[in-house]
Structure 1
Amino acid sequence: MSFEPKTKVELDPPRDDIISVDYLSKCDGTNPDYPTYVAIKGTVFDVSGNKAYGPDGSYRVFAGKDASRALGQSSLKPEECRPDWSDLSDEHKKVLSDWFTFFSKRYNIKGKVEGATNF
């Protein structure tokens, strides 16, 4: 996996706002009044500019939730889109870490999921 974007992305400084699970769930790409967010390891990324996370996108399953487990397992199954990843294999934990790096080089960090313990 290449971590560097093809074109340089100017990112805002990371924010550390606390984002409730309820608010995050509204940021699933289906409501134009809300941004589209994906959380990984409790960190919330704004993916609004990427149609892949929108209602018809191939990665829509990740939008509006902490999808750490699914990303670590390279899974698009909705039931795997949950924050708990502590019991994943070392190989899957590395994949998850790679996804976190990939997102952090492309998308603005908006904050942390309220009550998250999966850092």
Structure 2
Amino acid sequence: MSGKFEPKVPVKLDPPKDDPITPEELAKANGENGGKCYVAIKGLVYDVTGNKAYQPGGPYHVFAGKDASRALGKTSTKPEDVRPEWHDLSDKEKGVLNDWITFFSKRYNVVGKVVGATNFDDSP
């Protein structure tokens, strides 16, 4: 179903950027003190600043400033699951992770790539 992940309100997105974002810069983009709020998935960095769910006090703030690939694949908000490693997830969890990428890509601008990330895709 093509409309499965379509936003309720159309979103005009900028072309994806591939600016280098260091892990330290990503960590600082956690929405604290009204600052930028980023979430990375498979090394791609999404700007979720406008969504209160990722801001301090929000249900998904645990993902802010981090690569949340593993947690998203596991449908987990446990802090110990919020990390970039996802290659050892089950096929079902990998499918869930890919669904999250589709969801994010239809709603949030890609602002860059995590410098040194090794979790970009499923290639060996």
TM-score, normalised with respect to structure 1? 0.96
| Corresponding residue SS for 2:62 | helix
Unaligned 5+ runs, structure 1: none
State the one-letter code of the partner of 1:116.
Answer: A
| Corresponding residue SS for 1:31 | helix
| Corresponding residue SS for 1:103 | helix
For residues 57-68 of structure 1, the aligned pairs below 5 Å read: 57-68=58-69
State the one-letter code of the partner of 1:85.
Answer: W
State the one-letter code of the partner of 1:35.
Answer: K
CA distance in 2, matches of 1:100, 1:31: 27
Query: Paired residue for 1:13?
Result: 15
State the one-letter code of the partner of 1:23.
Answer: E
Give the RMSD, CA atoms, in angstroms: 1.1
Query: Paired residue for 1:42?
Result: 43
CA distance in 2, matches of 1:64, 1:2: 27
Whether 1:97 aligns to 2:98 is: yes
- TM superposition outliers: structure 1 runs of 4+ over 4 Å: none
For residues 24-39 of structure 1, the aligned pairs below 5 Å read: 24-32=26-34, 34-39=35-40
Q: Count residues in correspondence.
A: 118
Identical-residue share of aligned pairs (%): 65
CA distance in 1, matches of 2:4, 2:72: 16
**What's the CA shift string for 1:58-103, capped at 9, x where partnerless?**
0000000000000000000001000000000000000000000000
Query: Paired residue for 1:2?
Result: 4
TM-score, normalised with respect to structure 2? 0.93
**What's the CA shift string for 1:18-59, capped at 9, x where partnerless?**
000001000111132x31000000000000000000001000
